[in-house]
Structure formats: structure tokens, C-alpha cells
Amino acid sequence: MVRAMVAALGILALAACAPLAPQPDASDRAAAELGVLSLGIAQPGRFEAVTVRLDLPASAAGSVLSFPENWGPEENLSQLRRDTAFRGLERLPGEGEAYRVAPGGGWIAYTVAQDYDGEPDWQTHRLPGMRVRTAQSHAFLLGQTVLPTWSQGGVPLTLDLQSLPQRAAFSFAPADCATGCALDDLANSVLALGDFAFDTRQAGDTTVRSAIRGSFAMDADAMSGVLAGMLDQGAQRFDDAPFASYLFAVNPIPAPPQGSAVVGTGLHRSFLLLASENADAERLRHTIAHEIVHEWITRRMGPTDEASDAQRMWFTEGATEYFAWKLQLAAGLIDTQDFLAGMSDLASEYLASPVRELPAGELAERIFESEEAQRLPYQRGALLAWHWDMLARERGSSLDAVIADLIDGNTGQELTDARIQAAMARRIGGHFDSDLVRYVVRGQALDPMALTLPGCVVAMPERSGTVRFAIEEGSSRDTCRAELLGPA
């Protein structure tokens, strides 16, 4: 099947090349520097296997492509790839699967298929649905689990989706990559095929595409409404123009033994939501809001070092969680009471967490060990983000401005801890560094009662040992809302 596809693409390429003038102009020369990522299906009308092909020009010579073995909670990713064929690439010796591009350029093609039986479930998977799902009626996958990355050199790529069926959605449209997309960005994607309900709506300046399987407490319109409100507020508060297009894909997963599950993965101008169909609307809405904030924190700030990502979750997840609440309030998706209830829950979960005093370094190593470990950076980080927002506001600034600064300072270089911390300290002041060392680096217990809060909010200890944030007597909800949000 790979051979048949390769032959078909070869013919297409010939046909496209034939009319070229003998003297290529500047844009042709630029195109010759670009590679091509092609996605398709192996068999028309069936979704048991997805085909991937990378065509690499001579300008990529010497670059090295590496296939990941792990991503997030998933391991042994090479088992998802079959029928690998390549030419003009040299397979490098060593543990990982890596290829060096030869002087004339070359190509590599493979098919991707799920490597477990039946539907994703909680017995086989730490998080059902993160691993490639391919079936007769549908398929969905995350780019990070099946695409290689450049571990040395590399060229930008255009996108060829002509071999995908009509019922398909991918985070990128070919037009997005007309002048080349980074392979790293292209991997930050979701592909949904088959029996999803596909739809397109306009939300302000953004074209919102959706791909939804299953039925949930929120319908596609409601989900798009959350998306539109969040995109609008993020663009305003982070001083970052709205995106031309956005995709969200939703797939049902079985309910866990107790309760419900909603898991979001934020991707390039897109996210994948995995949810059990018994999940309530509030939880769906909040998870969608959170994933959209990741568009700015950190994707618009520059690439991060994945190997050490868990170390900076106080920022990547903590600030994201805080802004998920704050932007929902700003967009009118929730009211003042909802915001305070959300922050109260984070504080109470934090106080009840058996791992709340884990230093960031140790937490990073144990992040996938337990639900409590995974949640700690959200709880601790969001409470600190609220506190820091208030400290920055006392200086006439805000945490919104820190996010805007970090986006503004994106030159394509890696987003380092030093850059994050410098941006925070500049707006928040001297407290930031000492707070970070005390509560995150050393993991000392943070007392939610001692946070810097807006004047209209009081923190009240409860008998159960939890904390509840409430509007102070005499303050109205509207005044307090304005105080929580600060100037946009």
C-alpha cells in the first residue's frame, strides 16, 4: 500500500513539475528549499491506517530526523508505525530511530495504526485516547505521537492533505503552510477522520472548525461560544491579534470507574478534548477554556524544552489555570461567584493534597505517578498567579501584561525559565523571586489565607480545613467583578 501511494504521489509531482520554466524565479527557488508533509489514508473510505510521508529537498541534506519513543503518558511509540520505506535517508545506528538526509534529499513514508485492541479504556491506558486510535469508521491521532522532529538542522515544510478523505480535520490547512511550517509546529496537531460531526462557524475574526464524536452536556454551538469568548478576551488582554482559524476535536472516552473524565490537550490553534459522555457542562466548559489559554501560555511565547517542561508547570499550568478562570469571567462565561468558587476549590484541593509540599524538581520526576502530583502545579501555580496578579496591579501593571511581554518577546528562540522569571519579576516586583523559591522551588506550604487578594474578596477558613473565598460584605458582585479583572 505504501508503494502504491508513493507511485501515485510521484505521478502528481511530475505533473506539477512539467510546466515549470527552465529558469526558476525566486518563489520557485524558495519552494525548492521546502519539504512536504503529506497525510492520507491507506484505503479509501476506511480509517484503519493513516499514511504519512515526508519529502525532503536537497537543502535538508545533513539534517537528522528523530522519531519520539515517548510523549506525555505514552511510551513505545514506534509500535504505532509500520511499513516504513525511505530513500535518500540514512538510518543512524543507536537506540532511537533517527535518519540523516543524504546530499540529494530524500523521502520517508510509513503508515500509522493503533497497536491495541478495541476502544481505548482505563485498563490499558493511563489516559485513554492519547494514543493513536484507528478503526474502520474513524481515526484520530496527535501529531506528537507519530511525527518525527528535527534533532539536527531541518527545513520548513508545506502540507499536502489531498490524500485525506473529505471527512477530515487537521490543525493546519495547506494554506497555513504555503511558505513553510516548522515540523515542531506541525507535530503540535490533531487529525480527526471519519464519523465525527464536522462543522465550521465564524466567531469574530476567527473561523472555528469543530470535529465532534459522541454526545455531551454541551453541544457544538455552546463549545464554539466558549471558544469565541476566550479567543476574544485572550486577544484583548494579551494584546495579541485573534487567530484566523481554530479547530477543536472532541472524542468520547469511557467513564472512569468512579465519576467522569474530561481531559484536554492544547495544540497549535487547536485542541483535543477527551471526555466521558457523563461529564457535566461546567467541567467541559472549564477544560475548553483552559486549553485555549495554552494557545498563549506558552505556544505564542516560543518553543519550550520538552525534556524539562515538567519543571516549569507552576507557570505553564498554574498561570494557564488562573487565566482560564479570569478570562471566562471577563468573557461573561461565568460570574463572580463562579470565579471565587473555582479559586476556592483550587485552594481546598491544595490544602488536602498529600503531595502539596513537593519541591518543583521532585514533583517533575513524579508528575505522572498520581492524580495528586499532576494537579499540584495547577493548584499551587494558580493561587500564586492570582496573588502575583494582585501584586503587579499594586504597581499599576498586571499578570496579563507579563503574558503580553512574553508573547511580544518571542523571537523564535526557546522560552527559557530565565525569560519567564525576568518577565514576572519586572511586573510583579521583588516578591516574585522569593515567593517562587519558597513555594515552588522548595515546596514550602502556601497559606491561601495569606495571599494578596483584591479588596472585595475575603478568605474564610472552614471547619473542614478548607478555605472559601467570598465577596466581602458591602461589596457588590459587579464592583467585585471589575476589581477581579482590573483594566483590560
| Cβ-based nearer residue to Zn ion, 112 or 297 | 297
Q: For residue 7, give every residue at least 6 positions away whose Cβ sits within 8 Å of its Cβ, in sequence order, or none.
A: none
Q: Residue 458, Cβ neighbours under 10 Å: how many?
A: 15
Residue linked to cell 484541593: 349
Report the distance separating Cα 100 and Cα 85, nearest Å.
14
Q: Which of residues 442-461 bind Zn ion (CB under 5 A)?
A: none
Q: Binding residues for Zn ion, how many (CB under 5 A)? A: 1
**Residue 183 CB, nearest approach to Zn ion (Å):** 23
Q: Which of residues 271-300 bind Zn ion (CB under 5 A)?
A: none
| Cβ-based nearer residue to Zn ion, 145 or 320 | 320
Report the distance separating Cα 34 and Cα 13, nearest Å.
14
35: amino acid identity, one letter: G
User: For residue 434, what is its C-alpha cell?
Assistant: 522569593
The closest alpha carbon to 434, from 470, 464, 391, belongs to 391
| Cβ-based nearer residue to Zn ion, 378 or 439 | 378
**Residue 5 CB, nearest approach to Zn ion (Å):** 36
Q: For residue 212, give every residue at least 6 positions away whose Cβ sits within 8 Å of its Cβ, in sequence order, or none.
A: 196, 197, 199, 220, 223, 249, 250
8 A C-beta contact, residue 403 and residue 238: yes
User: For residue 172, what is its C-alpha cell?
Assistant: 493546519
**Residue 338 CB, nearest approach to Zn ion (Å):** 19
Phi, psi of 371 (to 5 degrees): -60, -40
User: For residue 150, what is its C-alpha cell?
Assistant: 528535527
| Cβ-based nearer residue to Zn ion, 318 or 454 | 318
**Residue 297 CB, nearest approach to Zn ion (Å):** 9
Q: Which of residues 165-184 bind Zn ion (CB under 5 A)?
A: none
Q: For residue 342, give every residue at least 6 positions away whose Cβ sits within 8 Å of its Cβ, in sequence order, or none.
A: 286, 325, 334
**Residue 320 CB, nearest approach to Zn ion (Å):** 5
Phi, psi of 377 (to 5 degrees): -60, -30
| Cβ-based nearer residue to Zn ion, 160 or 317 | 317
**Residue 444 CB, nearest approach to Zn ion (Å):** 24
| Cβ-based nearer residue to Zn ion, 317 or 405 | 317
| Cβ-based nearer residue to Zn ion, 133 or 286 | 286
Q: Which of residues 298-357 bind Zn ion (CB under 5 A)?
A: 317
**Residue 400 CB, nearest approach to Zn ion (Å):** 18
Q: Which residues bind Zn ion (CB under 5 A)?
A: 317
